[in-house]
Amino acid sequence: MTGDATGRLTGVAGWPVGHSRSPRLHRHWLARHGIEGDYVALPVAEEHLEEVVAALPKAGFRGLNVTVPHKVAALRLAHEATARAHAIGAANLLTFAEGRILADNTDGEGFLRNLREGAPLWEPGAGPAAVLGAGGAARAVVWALLEAGAPAVTLCNRTRATAEALAESFGARVGVADWVQAGNVVEAAATVVNTTSLGMAGKPELRVPLDGLRPGQVVTDLVYAPLETRLLREARAAGATAVDGLGMLLHQAAPAFERWWGIRPEVDGNLRAAVLG
């Protein structure tokens, strides 16, 4: 899938997309590797996604990331998709090659790389995982936790039916608990992941009971603005290993950049600074 696209443009389509840090991230790598290309944010409404994606290769694009709310639709409109994109049920990465659209999903890989980097001693098989939330981001996280060998994953979501639908598509290792049980589920887990938007700047705080957090647990939050959420602060205070969510953004981007430009870029302190700056 690498190397046969010819356009010099890449980007991310979302709605809204103005807050996206991906242009900074990819432009950092483009500059670092002396590649004459660009990465732009494209505000695309849901009803226009298909039309826009179909036109982009003709406008010099070699590929496109898609973010909320387009990830499920992006998988559907692709001609081909990787096994992991099918398993996750969504795509975040499209590559245009020879008139065809190829879909992949690097969110789960990014999630795992970030956890392994931030918590080198993490043993996914050591115990069950607790996942708070059951939206689009949770799908990739559940897939990744199962891939990594978590013996069980318990989903806790405000809307239980959404969690049940998600659990059903992943089989017997994934279970569901009521949102009011979140404190107990967190306490019983070896790995704890917040995939809800709670705790993000401008959103309500994640208010589930966190007094069950303890040493030995690995706790991560997909929210990265702020970098240290209440969940991560409480985890650290309890002696657990806390991993912030910015690394997931960086690590999901690296395989996209590699697919498009044929170079595996580095995820390092310079990149973090460029993205935060």
Q: Which residues are catalytic?
A: 71
d(CA 272, CA 118): 14
Q: How far is the CB of 92 from ligand ATR (least distance, A)?
A: 11
Contact stretch for ligand ATR (CB under 6 A) within 31-39, 93-101, 131-139, 231-239: 131-139
Strand-pair category, 63-66 with 191-194: unpaired
Q: Which two tokens stand for residue 1?
A: 């899938």
What does DSSP assign to residue 61? B
Segment 173-202, which members bind ligand ATR (CB under 6 A)?
195-198
Return phi, psi of residue 38, to 5°: -145, 165
Q: How far is the CB of 113 from ligand ATR (least distance, A)?
A: 19
**Interface mask (CB under 6 A) for ligand ATR, residues 74-93, using x and -?**
--------------------
Q: What is the dihedral of CA 210, 165, 112, 64, to 10 degrees?
A: -120
Q: Report the residue from 162, 225, 233, 263 that binds ligand ATR according to the rule CB under 6 A.
A: 162
65 binds ligand ATR (CB under 6 A): no
With respect to ligand ATR, which residue has the nearer C-beta, 68 or 238?
68
Determine how many CB atoms are found less than 10 A away from the CB of residue 74.
26
Nearest position to ligand ATR, beta carbon: 135
Starting at the edge strand found earlier in the chain, the sheet holding 191-194 runs 174-178, 153-157, 129-132, 191-194, 218-221, 241-243
With respect to ligand ATR, which residue has the nearer C-beta, 82 or 157?
157
Give Dmax over CA atoms of the chain in angstroms. Answer: 55
In the chain, where do the E strands start and end?
Answer: 9-14, 38-43, 63-66, 80-81, 93-97, 100-104, 129-132, 153-157, 174-178, 191-194, 218-221, 241-243
Q: How far is the CB of 193 from ligand ATR (least distance, A)?
A: 11
With respect to ligand ATR, which residue has the nearer C-beta, 72 or 126?
72
134 binds ligand ATR (CB under 6 A): yes
Site size with ligand ATR, rule: CB under 6 A: 16
Determine how many CB atoms are found less than 10 A away from the CB of residue 148.
18
Q: Report the residue from 2, 6, 159, 270 that binds ligand ATR according to the rule CB under 6 A.
A: 159
135 binds ligand ATR (CB under 6 A): yes
Q: Using CB under 6 A, list all residues that contact ligand ATR.
A: 68, 133-138, 157-159, 162, 195-198, 204
